[in-house]
């Protein structure tokens, strides 16, 4: 059990859990560097390929896997960054909890939807379920 919270000059002293989060943010940044370069290269390569070329690109298991990894790691990195912002600037516990929950929910729903559509395109299915397209 931890002792009372310590303050120096009215600033709470670290509770020793920030180092792991800091390291995770840096790790996700390092992983995103080559994935971003791959994404830029892929976008350049696909710029004149048309719709059929884009579908063929998605059907490659390597491309679909790298795209899904880029999406998931980007959302993980975004979630960690927004958590730091909320922790630093939102001081009411109820507001902080609600915002962190909302951010987590948005990230999880975005990840699930993104991976769902990447898998559908990789397997050759239509990009949208029947009835949702225009």
Percentage of residues in the chain having pLDDT higher than 90:
56
Q: Work out the mean pLDDT of the chain and round it to a whole number.
A: 86
Residue 15's pLDDT band, with cuts at 50, 70 and 90, is low
Tens digit of each residue's pLDDT (9 = 90 or more) over 69-125: 999 999 999 999 999 999 889 889 899 999 999 999 999 999 999 999 999 889 887
SS (H, E, C) the chain: CCCCCCEECCEECCCCCHHHHHHHHHHHHHHHHHHHHHHHHHHHHHCCCHHHHHHHHHHCHHHHHHHHHHHHHHHHHHHHHHHHHHHHHCCCHHHHHHHHHHHHHHHHHHHHHHHHHHHHHHCCCCCCCCCCCC
85 belongs to a structural domain: yes
Average pLDDT over residues 54-67: 92
Average pLDDT over residues 47-54: 87
61 belongs to a structural domain: yes
68 belongs to a structural domain: yes
107 belongs to a structural domain: yes
CATH number at residue 99: 1.20.1300.10
24 belongs to a structural domain: yes
Of 127 and 46, the one with more pLDDT: 46
5 belongs to a structural domain: no
44 belongs to a structural domain: yes
Structure tokens at 4: 């009372």
- What is the extent of the structural domain holding 22? 16-122
As for how many domains the chain has, the answer is 1
pLDDT of residue 103: 96
User: How much is the pTM?
Assistant: 0.78
129 belongs to a structural domain: no
Asked if residues 122 and 61 have their Cβ atoms less than 8 Å apart, the reply is yes
């Amino acid at each position: 059990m931890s002792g009372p919270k310590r303050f120096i000059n009215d600033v709470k002293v670290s509770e020793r859990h920030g180092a792991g989060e800091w390291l995770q943010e840096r790790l996700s940044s390092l992983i995103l560097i080559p994935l971003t370069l791959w994404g830029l290269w892929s976008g350049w390569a696909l710029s004149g390929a048309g719709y059929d070329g884009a579908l063929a690109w998605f059907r490659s298991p390597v491309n679909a896997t790298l795209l899904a990894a880029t999406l998931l790691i980007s959302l993980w990195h975004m979630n960690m960054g927004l958590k730091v912002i909320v922790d630093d600037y939102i001081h009411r516990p109820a507001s902080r909890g609600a915002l962190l929950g909302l951010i987590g929910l948005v990230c999880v729903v975005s990840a699930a939807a993104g991976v769902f559509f990447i898998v559908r395109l990789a397997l050759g299915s239509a990009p949208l379920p029947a009835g949702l397209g225009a």
